[in-house]
Structure 1
Amino acid sequence: MRTISLGFVAASFFVGGCTVCCAIPGPDPRDVLAAEIAEDALIVDTHIDVPYRLRESPEDVSVRTASGDFDHPRALEGGLDVAFMSIYIPASYQETGGARALADSLIDGVEAMAADAPDKFAVVRSVQDVARMRQPGVVMLALGIENGAPVEGDLSALRHFRDRGVRYVTLTHSRDNEISDSSYDDAGTWGGLSDFGLEVVREMNRLGIMVDVSHISDPAFDDVMDVTTVPVIASHSSARAFTPGFERNMSDDMIRRLAENGGVIQINFGSTFLLQRVQDDRQALREALDDSLAARGIEPSSTEADAYADGFEARNPLRLADMTDVADHIDHVVGLVGIDHVGIGSDYDGVGPTLPVGLEDVSRYPNLIAELLRRGYEGDDIRQILGGNTMRVWRAVEAAATE
């Protein structure tokens, strides 16, 4: 007879004419509950970089893929319900042009995913769509533009993308653009938002598009907070308290102001967002690689250097964070501002091989849920983190829209 008690299974074995009874480890009840919550809760991940991944390396994500962090089978295993597809526009398009055309092309790709596998994917454009179209076996795909460059100086472009289903816009990316300064750019072109950027935020409020403050500079964040009339999101950022000096993450003061606005910070899973130690290790490995290339007389930008770097990285793997570090960031936000202002924005397919141990792809959300259970979070609080908080902001932005 099989019984489970306190995580152990009672087992009997026949050895040498005698029956021997022993206890062997059984499933952790919290793991079982985590799987149940993942299946039942609405899980909303606000940043997954599938569209650009498929542009670079086309494959069918309606079936299990050998590469990448997202596909339909793994999404079902993880309980993912709403995956915000990042319409990522590299900063180079700000100089070369073509940002709007690329955005439209990537949106076409997401629509094709749903059209080609309607029993597996569905594009959603509203909170009501999520409620209406949620059904077993279907992963809902929402749209968010990462980098406001496709606006191309024309506010009417926002209406165009709203009509195409875009429900948030990250104002900039790795370099200052016409809308906002970037946290990665030291130029400080506008000292925050440009005058046009202020108009962009107002127009997004009017149209019902969520403003995403990930990637923008600290002064730009303050400008957004000054002008927005609705809650905003940080679709894939983490807490700067764990990475001092890394402006891409949010400071405690910024998180507090975000909460006062009613907004949500969705925690990025990338190891370099989670731990200063990983940033320091990566920098040390880069310097060691440069020294090794120089010692061998290899030109850094050559094909030979690329091949050598692949071997070097294989011999010197980066020590990654793990899922407990993601939970630490959640704990930190909850401790600062309460349970209502934190969510998940994994950056799957966007942070390369730096995902934490235990959260390697979209099948692993239950591991994070189990960790939160171990830390004493109740089911309702976990549901808020997994998607409830993000849906509240989305609903508020829709309700406040005047068009």
Structure 2
Amino acid sequence: MNKPLILGLVGALSLTTAAVAQEYTASERAHRIAQDNLIIDTHIDVPYRLNKDWEDVTRATKRGDFDYPRAKQGGLNVPFMSVYIPAQLEQTPGASYQLAHQLIDSMEALAWRAPQKFAMAYSVDQVMQQQERGVISIALGMENGSPIEGDINNLYEFYNRGIRYITLAHSQSNHISDSSYDVRRQWNGLSPFGKELVKEMNNVGVMIDISHVSDEAFWQAVEISKVPVIASHSSLRRYTPGFERNMSDEMIKGLAKNGGVIMINFGSSFVTQQANRYGDIVRKQIAAINEQYGEGSEEAEKRIAEVRAKNPFPFATLEEVLNHIDHVKNLVGIEYIGIGSDYDGVGDSLPVGLKDVSTYPNLVQGLLDRGYSEEEIEKILYKNFVRVWREVETYAAKH
């Protein structure tokens, strides 16, 4: 979830989506690959979306990027639903813990209400069994470790509730780790508790997610972990220079050496430099207008509308997302790439051709067009991540 960069721009983005004319059409072969194979997407923000704006996602919805009909259309079998915890809640004791349990409850309720469509998934084997039954497996990842609240017992509790990865921090540094978005580096990486938490996550069987953390925290987590780690929803800094939230080439090499996987984020601000910098540029212009004419004044609103009309959001494209995949493949190999779309977490900033969970066949078609074999595509869709998940399960079983 990229709320600090995206949500303030939703009003402007909605004005420009219809202006995008480019279309993508997946072939019958691409649809077959999407339907015949597992598709695991490790970051979809449905729980927080429904917490703020409830809809019945067992049916087609008017809003959002995910619902059951679109998921089935796209071939999505295993959405890792993000238990997203806003960073500021850490300042209120108990608030992160409370929200995390509520969001987990909401996903359990979804599976209970529609057992012919959804089922909770706590292991690789369970995912495979439920694929055979034709239901969508709801797996859980915690985006922001603040609900742990400095107590290892809470790690065990959340594992027992189904959490299978934890993003160590989010948009602010917390009691576990420094954040890539936060200029304060209070720990110079992981906190002492964070280092112990990483070890215990290995022992329990919770995957370590290094999306959102600072570079120093990434390197420390990779060094400490005895099993591969994941970046559940990150893309490449090569295409967004200076954006620490994405991964550098050296970090990707370190991740591959660790055996981990980078799950490519689809959000336009993660994919292209132009989209990444759009928010800052437009916000500065709007701030100047508000200062000159008075925030909320008729003249200010008129001029802000003109700024947005003249500066439509520069949506990324499917082709540019594929460039990220190509680069990781060329840099370290096909074995370290997966999908972490950030659907329902990046507002209306998704690329042309990848607007919701029905569009995974477009991604498959793009990979076919670039010469990827079906075996390579299967690795990206699920096999690489399943390898990591099984290694984490196996290590925990021994410890």
Q: TM-score, normalised by structure 1?
A: 0.89
Structure 1 residue 137 displacement after superposition: 4.5
- Return 5+ residue gaps in structure 2 as ranges: 1-23
Structure with the bigger percentage of strand: 1
Query: Which string of whole-angstrom CA distances, capped at 9 and with x for unpartnered residues, describes residues 96-129 of structure 1?
Result: 1211111011000000000001111111000110
Q: Which residue of 1 aligns with 2:349?
A: 354
TM-superposed deviation, 1:317: 2.6
Residue 47 (structure 1) aligned with residue 43 (structure 2): yes
Q: Which whole-Å CA distance do the structure 1 matches of 2:298 and 2:149 have between them?
A: 36
* d(CA) in 2 for partners of 1:307, 1:135: 56
CA distance in 2, matches of 1:126, 1:266: 19
Are residues 307 and 29 of structure 1, via their aligned partners in 2, closer, same or farther at CA, if it must alter by over 3 Å?
closer
Q: Which runs of 5+ in 1 are unaligned?
A: 1-27
Which letter does structure 2 place at the counterpart of 1:206?
Answer: N
Alignment of 1:367 with 2:350, yes or no, is: no
User: 1: CA distance between counterparts of 2:89 and 2:305?
Assistant: 28
What code does the residue aligned with 1:232 have?
V
When structure 1 is superposed on structure 2, of 28-37 and 239-248 the one drifting more is: 28-37
3-state DSSP of counterpart to 2:280? helix
Secondary structure, aligned partner of 1:381: helix
In structure 2, relative to structure 1, the CA distance for the partners of 1:30 and 1:108 (3 Å cut) is closer
Partner residue of 1:8? none
* Count of residue pairs brought into register by the alignment: 374
1:96 alignment counterpart: 92
Q: Which residue of 2 aligns with 1:332?
A: 327
8 Å Cα contact 1:30/1:373 also seen in 2: no
Letter paired with 2:328: V
Q: Structure 1 residues 317, 345: closer, same or farther in 2, change over 3 A?
A: same
Distance 1:341 1:282, change over 3 A: same
SS in 1 for 2:87: coil
> How far does residue 393 in structure 1 lie from its aligned partner after superposition?
0.3
- CA–CA distance in 1 between the matches of 2:289 and 2:77? 46
Return the alpha-carbon distance in structure 1 between the equivalents of residues 256 and 147 of structure 2: 29
Cα distance in 2 between the residues matched to 1:268 and 1:207? 27
Superposed CA offset, 1:206-250 (max 9, x none): 001000000000000111011100001000000111111110000
| CA offset digits 1:249-300 (Å, max 9, x no partner) | 001010001001100000000101001111233322222222333343225x
Q: Which amino acid aligns with 1:176?
A: S
Q: Distance in 2 between matches of 1:94 and 1:396?
A: 31
CA spacing shift, 1:119–1:304, aligned 2, 3 Å: farther
Partner residue in 1 for 2:129: 132
> Deviation of residue 83 (structure 1)?
0.2
Greater relative CO (CA pairs within 8 A, separation 6+): 2
TM-score normalized by structure 2? 0.90
Measure, in 1, the Cα distance between the counterparts of 2:25 and 2:66.
Answer: 27
State whether structure 2 residue 53 is matched by structure 1 residue 57. yes
Deviation (angstroms), 1:31: 1.6
Decide whether the 8 Å contact of 1:76 with 1:137 is kept in 2. Answer: no
Identity of aligned residues (%): 53
Distance 1:279 1:168 in 2: 27
Residue matched to 1:269: 266
- Check the 8 A contact 1:342/1:389 in 2, yes or no: yes
Structure richer in helix, relative to its length:
2
CA contact (8 A) 1:269 1:347 kept: yes
Give the structure with higher Rg (CA). Answer: 1
Report the counterpart of residue 229 of structure 2 in structure 1. 232
